[in-house]
Amino acid sequence: MRRTRLAVALVVLFGFVGAVNAESDPLPSWNDGPTKRTILNFVRETTEPGSPKFVLPEERVATFDQDGTLWVEQPMYVQLQYCLGRVPALVRAKPELANVEPYKTILSGDKEAIAKLPKPELEKVLVATLSGMTVDQFTAEVKKWLATATDTRWHRHHTELTYEPMQELLKYLRTKGFKTYIVTGGGQDFVRAYSEDVYGIPPEQVVGTVGGVKYERAANGRPELMKEPKMLLDDNNAGKPEAIHLMIGRRPRAAFGNSTGDRQMLEYTRTGDGPRLSMIVLHDDAAREYAYGPAQGLPDSKVGTFTQDLYDEARHQRWTVISMKNDWRRIFSFEQ
């Protein structure tokens, strides 16, 4: 009888402890360790009333790079896949392009030949597929494409290939009063087409590379914004802190990136007064995702380059390097 009561007591106790742990861990896809502790400590210090490092709610700004930080960027940026994927429709509308480069090569489907296209040729495709329509038409086209296009490795929609640990982090920061922004080298209008559905981030909190728009009267007489073939802001490198100032007007309290294009955003954030957090994702997990650097002897990559120099700066400036392999228990929500 006594043993039974003890057993019941233990079950109740451990059941209760288990429930508390499950409920109180806002980052279940992160392995326990120094990286996770750094995040939890930063959030506690900046948000607990009475903390000497307390940060006012209106100053709680957290910025996230997208490609390679929130979702998969290999083997090719999703937006570039979109632009290439739009070529058949483009050629249907303008059949004379079928025999003109680079459209001819793209239509051939020959991946090796496509990969070898010179940059100015690819830029022609970007201009042709990212301008010349209203912003509403563009948004509709992107949504339509995302609903069907799939990734070549997992055969899933790109919007399923977001990193679950980062999704948890976005939500956790928001529950603690942080305003979460995407600050991406990708096109602002492209990312806005899905940011609210995929990350819970509304269009006004997406800062990206910006093409010009022109206010003009559309065929139906209604004023519309037409996407123009010109670059207004390049949201990479020093362009990131510059665009953060333009769009937000506050130095972030926390910033997250994964490549050389994020260096200045991470520097700018970390060197502000008071508590600041800069973190950078190292893709070191070829088995579960991809492995590329060339930092730490990882294979070099043109997409999402993370140099040894950047790695050394991260260590020196006390940013936190997130090891995908060691810090993330689970990468995608569809994993067991």
Cβ neighbour number for residue 274 with a 10 Å cutoff: 13
Among 206, 291, 314, 324, binds a copy of itself (CB under 8 A): 206
Question: Among 60, 192, 276, 283, which residue interacts with a copy of itself (rule: CB under 8 A)?
Answer: 192
Q: Which window, 110-118, 222-230, 277-285, 319-327, contacts a copy of itself (CB under 8 A)?
A: 222-230
Q: Which of 209, 229, 211, 86 minimizes the C-alpha distance to 146?
A: 86
Which two tokens mark 155? 């055969």
Judged by CB under 8 A, the stretch of 3-11, 73-81, 96-104, 203-211 that binds a copy of itself is 203-211
> Judging by DSSP bridges, how do beta strands 206-217 and 61-64 pair with one another?
unpaired
Taking CB under 8 A as the binding criterion, the range among 77-85, 104-112, 184-192, 291-299 that sits at the site for a copy of itself is: 184-192
| CB of 224 vs a copy of itself, minimal distance in Å | 9
For position 133 contacting a copy of itself by CB under 8 A, the verdict is: no
Closer Cβ to a copy of itself, 92 or 250, answer by number: 250
In whole angstroms, the minimum distance from the beta carbon of 267 to a copy of itself comes to 5
CA-wise closest residue to 208 among 167, 174, 247: 247
167: left (phi over 0), alpha (psi -120 to 50) or beta: alpha
Contact 263, 310 (CB under 8 A): yes
Q: Out of 37, 214, 288, 315, which residue is the one contacting a copy of itself (CB under 8 A)?
A: 214
Neighbours of 58 (CB within 10 A): 9
Q: Is 238 in the site for a copy of itself (CB under 8 A)?
A: yes
CB 266 within 8 A of CB 254: no
Residue closer to a copy of itself, measured from CB, 23 or 58: 58
Q: Are strands 320-323 and 277-282 parallel, antiparallel or unpaired?
A: parallel
In the complex, least distance from residue 172 CB atom to a copy of itself, rounded to whole angstroms = 21
The SS3 call for residue 227 is strand
179-187 vs 277-282, strand pairing mode: unpaired
Work out whether 185 is an interface residue with a copy of itself (CB under 8 A): no
List residues near a copy of itself by CB under 8 A.
58, 135, 179, 188-189, 192, 196, 202-204, 206, 210, 212-215, 222-223, 225, 232-233, 238, 241-242, 245-250, 264, 267-268, 271
